[in-house]
Amino acid sequence: MAAGYLYGKRYSQMQVVAVVLLTLGVILAAWSDAQAKGTSESSGRPAFSTGLVILFVAQLLSAIMGLYTEATYAKYGPQWKENLFYSHALSLPLFLPFAPSMARTFAYLMTSTPLQLPGVFGFATTKFQIPSQILFLITNVLTQYACIRGVNLLAAASTALTVTIILNIRKLVSLLLSIWLFGNKLAPGTLLGAIIVFSAGGLYSVGSRKKTPAEKGVSARANKAS
C-alpha cells in the first residue's frame, strides 16, 4: 500500500485499516510460530528478525512489480499469458551458474526409492516405476504452475494491492496447513494472528466493494446536504 501511495494511488480509510491489521496479523502469526518452535540465534540458524527483514524487502519489490504490471495491463491490455511466459523465460539464464549443482541434485533424486504406479491409457496390468523424489518434483512443478497461472489471472482482473493481500492470506493458510499436517503445536499467537488476518481480509473486501447506483445517489445527496 505504501508503494501504491508513492505511485499516486489513493485508498479508502477502511482499506488502510484492513491492510494495517493484516500486516500486524501476519507478523504476529509468523513470530508466534517461530517462538513456539524455539528458534534462537545460538542454534546456528539466522535470527528471526533477519528473515523478517528479507521478507519485507521481497514484499516491497513484489509490490513495485505488481504496480508496474498493473500499469502495463492498463496500457496494453491484460495480456497475462505473455507476462507469464516472458517473466519465466527471461529468468532462465540466471540459473546457468547453478547448472552443475542442479545436475547433481537431479542425479541424487533419480536414486531415490522408486514408486510403483498403476497402468495408464487403459492398460490396467501395465505398471511402471518412477523415483519417488522425481514424482514429488513433478507434482510440485504442476502445482506451482497452477498457482502462478492463477496469480497472473488474478492480476489481470484486479488491482496490485488486492493480489498482494490474497497472496498474504494464502501464505498464512499454507503456514496453518503445515502446522496441522506435520503435527506441530498451534501457538495462541499464531491463532490470534490468523483471526486478525482473515478478519482484515474480509474488511478489505467490504472496503473495496464498488458502490451500487443507489448507494452513489445517497452519498451524493449527503455531500450536497453537508
Locate the domains of the chain by residue range: 14-35+129-211
Prediction pTM value: 0.69
- Check the CA dihedral 158-71-152-1 and report its sign: negative
Under a CB-based contact definition with an 8 Å cutoff, are residues 83 and 149 in contact? no
Question: Residue 178 is placed in which grid cell?
Answer: 503445515
Residues ≥6 apart with Cβ < 8 Å to 72: 83
pLDDT value at position 98?
Answer: 94
Question: Residue 56 is placed in which grid cell?
Answer: 519485507
pLDDT value at position 216?
Answer: 47
CA 44/CA 37 separation, integer angstroms: 14
CA 29/CA 55 separation, integer angstroms: 14
Under a CB-based contact definition with an 8 Å cutoff, are residues 113 and 135 in contact? no
pLDDT value at position 119?
Answer: 61
- Check the CA dihedral 97-98-99-104 and report its sign: positive
Question: Residue 193 is placed in which grid cell?
Answer: 494472528
pLDDT value at position 22?
Answer: 86
pLDDT value at position 125?
Answer: 56
Low-confidence ranges of the chain (pLDDT < 70): 37-48, 119-127, 210-226
pLDDT value at position 208?
Answer: 74
Beta strands in the chain (DSSP E): 114-117, 128-131
* Nearest alpha-carbon partner for 148 in 222, 69, 39: 69
CA 12/CA 142 separation, integer angstroms: 38
